[in-house]
Amino acid sequence: MTKKSQGANEDQVKEPKRKIVPLKSQKEAKEVKSSKKEEDLLLDSGTDSDYDGCSLSGSLNSDDFDSEDDFDSHRETQDDSGHEGSDEVIDSENGEEEDGSDDEGSEQREVAEESDSSEDEVAPRNTVGDVPLEWYKDEKHIGYDITGKKITKKEKQDKLDSFLATMDDSKNWRKVYDEYNDEEVELTKEESKLIRRMLKGEAPHADFDPYAPYVDWFKWDDAIHPLSSAPEPKRRFIPSKWEAKKVVKLVRAIRKGLIKFDKPEEEPNVYLLWGDDSASDQKSKHLTYIPPPKLKLPGHEESYNPSLEYIPSEEEKASYELMYEEDRPKFIPKRFTSLRSIPAYENALKESFDRCLDLYLCPRVRKKRINIDPESLKPKLPSRKDLRPYPNSCYLEYKGHTGPVTSISTECSGQWIASGSTDGSVRIWEVETGRCLKVWQFDEAVKCVAWNPLPDFPILAVAMGVDLFFLNTELGTDEEQQRIEELLRLDNLPELDEAAAAIAKWLPDEKYRGIKIRHFKNLSYIDWHPRGDYLSAVMPGGETRGVVIHQLSAHSTKRLPIKMRGLPVCTLFHPNHRGLFIIATKKYVRVYNLHKNGEPIKKLETGLREISSMAIHPGGDNLVVGSKEGKMCWFDMDLSSKPYKILKNHPKDITNVGFHRSYPLFASCSEDSTAYVFHGKVYSDLNENPLIVPLEILRGHSSKGGVLDCKFHPRQPWLFTAGGDSVIKLYCH
Amino acid sequence: MPKHYRPAGKKKEGNAARYMTRSQALKSLQVNLNLFRRLCIVKGIFPREPKKKVKGNHHTYYHVKDISFLQHEPLLEKFREIKTYQKKVQKAKAKKNEELARLLLTRQPTYKLDRLIRERYPTFIDALRDLDDCLTMVHLFAVLPASDRENLEVKRVHNCRRLSHEWQAYISRTHALRKVFVSVKGIYYQAELEGQKITWLTPHAIQQVFTNDVDFGVLLTFLEFYETLLAFTNFKLYHSLNVKYPPILDSRLEALAADLYALSRYIDASSRGMTVEPKVDASSSSQSNDRAESELRLAQLQHQLPSSEPGALMHLVADKEVEEDEETRACKSLFKDLKFFLSREVPRESLLFVLPAFGGTVSWEGEGAPFKEDDESITHHIIDKPSAGHMYLSREYVQPQWIYDCVNARIILPTEKYLVGRIPPPHLSPFVDNEAEGYVPDYAETIKRLQAAARNDVLPLPGVGKEDLEDPQNLLYAGFMSRTEEIEAAENKKTMAEREKQYHEELKKELKKEVTGSVVDDVAAPVVEEGEGEESSVPDAAQIAQDTADMPTLMMSRKKRKLYDAMKIGQKKKSESVERIKQRKKNLKADQ
pLDDT higher than threshold 70 for residue B526: no
pLDDT higher than threshold 50 for residue B98: yes
Q: Is B428–A300 a contact, with Cβ atoms under 8 angstroms apart?
A: yes
Mean of the pLDDT values across residues A128-136?
84
pLDDT higher than threshold 80 for residue B528: no
CA–centroid distance for A135 within its chain: 56
Asked which of A328-342, A437-451, A502-516 is least confident by mean pLDDT, the reply is A502-516
User: Which residue has better confidence, B8 or A295?
Assistant: A295
Q: Is A298–B181 a contact, with Cβ atoms under 8 angstroms apart?
A: yes
Query: Please, which residues 242-281 of chain A have a Cβ atom closer than 8 Å to chain B?
Result: 259, 263, 269-274, 277, 280
The string of DSSP codes covering A521-542 is: S---EEEE-TTSSEEEEE-GGG
- φ, ψ of residue B157 in degrees (nearest 5): -60, -45
In terms of CA atoms, which chain A residue is nearest residue B130?
A291
Exposed/middle/buried for B450, CB within 10 Å: 0-12, 13-18, 19+?
middle
Instruction: Evaluate whether A63 touches A36 at the Cβ level (below 8 Å).
Output: no
pLDDT higher than threshold 70 for residue B552: yes
pLDDT higher than threshold 50 for residue A666: yes
Per-residue pLDDT band for B272 (boundaries 50, 70, 90) equals low
The predicted pLDDT at position A183 comes to 81
Write down the ipTM of this complex.
0.78
Q: Which of B114, B208, B529 faces A732 most closely, judged by CB atoms? A: B529
The predicted pLDDT at position A354 comes to 94
Q: Which of B65, B428, B516 faces A303 most closely, judged by CB atoms? A: B428
pLDDT higher than threshold 80 for residue B289: no
The predicted pLDDT at position B89 comes to 95
pLDDT higher than threshold 90 for residue B491: no
Q: Is A349–B210 a contact, with Cβ atoms under 8 angstroms apart?
A: yes
The predicted pLDDT at position B77 comes to 94
A663: CB partners within 8 A, 6+ apart: A389, A390, A712, A717
pLDDT higher than threshold 80 for residue B253: no
CB atoms within 10 A of CB B570: 11
Q: Strand pairing partners for A50? A: none
The predicted pLDDT at position B129 comes to 92
Strands B361-364 and B339-342, bridge-based pairing: parallel
Strand ranges across the sheet with B187-193? B177-182, B187-193, B196-202
Query: Please, which residues 384-413 of chain A have a Cβ atom closer than 8 Å to chain B?
Result: 389, 392-396, 413
CB-based burial, B50-87: b 16+ in 10 Å, e otherwise: beeebbeeebbbbbbebbebbeebebbeebeeeeeeee
Query: Please, which residues 669-708 of chain A have a Cβ atom closer than 8 Å to chain B?
Result: 692-700
Tens-digit pLDDT profile for residues A178-222 = 888 888 888 888 989 999 999 998 888 888 888 888 888 877 777
User: How far apart are alpha carbons B229 and B42 in whole angstroms?
Assistant: 11
Percentage, residues of chain B above pLDDT 90: 37
pLDDT higher than threshold 90 for residue A57: no
User: Which residue has better confidence, B269 or B160?
Assistant: B160
User: How far apart are alpha carbons A407 and A656 in whole angstroms?
Assistant: 10
Q: Which of B185, B543, B547 faces A345 most closely, judged by CB atoms? A: B185
Chain A residues with CB inside 8 Å of B135's CB? none
The predicted pLDDT at position B371 comes to 86
Q: Which of B46, B231, B535 faces A363 most closely, judged by CB atoms? A: B46
Q: Which of A379, A414, A696 faces B555 most closely, judged by CB atoms? A: A379
Q: How many residues does chain A have?
A: 733
Mean of the pLDDT values across residues A615-622?
89
Q: Is B555–A339 a contact, with Cβ atoms under 8 angstroms apart?
A: no
Whether B18 and chain A come into contact, CB under 8 Å, resolves to no
Q: How far is CA B68 from CA A158, A287, A363, B43, B63, in A?
A: 85, 11, 18, 12, 9
Whether B445 and chain A come into contact, CB under 8 Å, resolves to no
Q: Which of A339, A396, A733 faces B346 most closely, judged by CB atoms? A: A339
Q: Is B127–A274 a contact, with Cβ atoms under 8 angstroms apart?
A: yes
Chain B residues with CB inside 8 Å of A333's CB? 184
The predicted pLDDT at position B470 comes to 43
Mean of the pLDDT values across residues A6-25?
41
Whether B491 and chain A come into contact, CB under 8 Å, resolves to no
Mean of the pLDDT values across residues B469-476?
44
Tally C-beta pairs within 8 A across A and B: 317
Q: Which of B185, B214, B547 faces A353 most closely, judged by CB atoms? A: B214
- Nearest Cα neighbor of B531 from B485, B509, B499, B487 is B499
Tens-digit pLDDT profile for residues B31-88 = 999 999 999 999 999 999 999 998 899 999 999 999 999 999 999 999 999 999 999 9
Beta strands in A196-353 (DSSP E): none
Q: Is A715–B522 a contact, with Cβ atoms under 8 angstroms apart?
A: yes
Coil, strand or helix: which one is A414?
Answer: coil
Q: Is B536–A389 a contact, with Cβ atoms under 8 angstroms apart?
A: no
The predicted pLDDT at position A31 comes to 46
Per-residue pLDDT band for A277 (boundaries 50, 70, 90) equals low
Query: Please, which residues 21-80 of chain B have a Cβ atom closer than 8 Å to chain A?
Result: 37, 40-41, 44-49, 60-61, 63, 65-66, 69
Q: Which of B207, B428, B516 faces A433 most closely, judged by CB atoms? A: B516
Whether B235 and chain A come into contact, CB under 8 Å, resolves to yes
Per-residue pLDDT band for A287 (boundaries 50, 70, 90) equals confident
Whether A361 and chain B come into contact, CB under 8 Å, resolves to yes
In terms of CA atoms, which chain B residue is nearest residue A676?
B551
The predicted pLDDT at position A164 comes to 86
Mean of the pLDDT values across residues A229-235?
87
The predicted pLDDT at position B137 comes to 95
Mean of the pLDDT values across residues B357-370?
85
> In Å, how far is B503's CA from the nearest CA of chain A?
11
Instruction: Evaluate whether B164 touches B201 at the Cβ level (below 8 Å).
Output: no
User: Which residue has better confidence, B168 or A554?
Assistant: B168
User: Which residue has better confidence, B168 or A113?
Assistant: B168
CA–centroid distance for A108 within its chain: 79
Whether B557 and chain A come into contact, CB under 8 Å, resolves to no
Query: Please, which residues 284-323 of chain B have a Cβ atom closer than 8 Å to chain A?
Result: none
Q: Which helix (H) or strand (E) holds B153?
A: none
Whether A302 and chain B come into contact, CB under 8 Å, resolves to yes
Per-residue pLDDT band for A495 (boundaries 50, 70, 90) equals low
Mutating which of B183, B434, B501, B529 best tests the A interface, going by the most A Cβ atoms within 10 A?
A: B183
Instruction: Evaluate whether A714 touches A416 at the Cβ level (below 8 Å).
Output: no
Asked which of B47-61, B109-123, B128-142, B524-538 is least confident by mean pLDDT, the reply is B524-538
Whether B213 and chain A come into contact, CB under 8 Å, resolves to yes
Asked which of A595-599, A710-714, B196-200 is least confident by mean pLDDT, the reply is A595-599
Whether A436 and chain B come into contact, CB under 8 Å, resolves to no
Mean of the pLDDT values across residues A134-162?
83
User: How far apart are alpha carbons A549 and A556 in whole angstroms?
Assistant: 9
User: How far apart are alpha carbons A514 and A508 in whole angstroms?
Assistant: 6
Asked which of B122-131, B320-329, B528-537 is least confident by mean pLDDT, the reply is B528-537
Whether A360 and chain B come into contact, CB under 8 Å, resolves to yes
Per-residue pLDDT band for B256 (boundaries 50, 70, 90) equals low
Tens-digit pLDDT profile for residues A412-454 = 888 889 999 999 899 999 888 888 888 888 888 999 999 988 8
Q: Is B504–A351 a contact, with Cβ atoms under 8 angstroms apart?
A: no
Mean of the pLDDT values across residues A9-16?
42
The predicted pLDDT at position B96 comes to 94
Per-residue pLDDT band for A114 (boundaries 50, 70, 90) equals very low
Q: Which of B49, B526, B556 faces A377 most closely, judged by CB atoms? A: B556
Per-residue pLDDT band for B512 (boundaries 50, 70, 90) equals low
The predicted pLDDT at position B513 comes to 57
pTM for this structure? 0.64
Exposed/middle/buried for A297, CB within 10 Å: 0-12, 13-18, 19+?
middle
Sign of CA dihedral A167, A168, A171, A177: negative
The predicted pLDDT at position B490 comes to 62
Chain B residues with CB inside 8 Å of A289's CB? 44, 120
CA angle (A685, A688, A692) in 5-degree steps: 120
The predicted pLDDT at position B459 comes to 44
Q: Is A272–B218 a contact, with Cβ atoms under 8 angstroms apart?
A: no
Q: Which of B130, B206, B441 faces A291 most closely, judged by CB atoms? A: B130
Mean of the pLDDT values across residues B447-457?
85
Identify residue A225 by its one-letter amino acid code.
H
Chain A residues with CB inside 8 Å of B185's CB? 298, 302, 345, 347-348, 351
Asked which of A308-312, A496-500, A557-561, A588-592 is least confident by mean pLDDT, the reply is A496-500
The predicted pLDDT at position A282 comes to 59
Instruction: Evaluate whether B458 touches B464 at the Cβ level (below 8 Å).
Output: yes
Q: Which of B461-465, B517-521, B568-572 has the highest mean pLDDT?
A: B568-572
B332: CB partners within 8 A, 6+ apart: B175, B358, B359
Whether B181 and chain A come into contact, CB under 8 Å, resolves to yes
For chain A, the average pLDDT equals 79
Mean of the pLDDT values across residues A356-378?
87
Sign of CA dihedral B521, B524, B529, B534: positive
For chain B, the average pLDDT equals 79
Mean of the pLDDT values across residues A116-133?
64
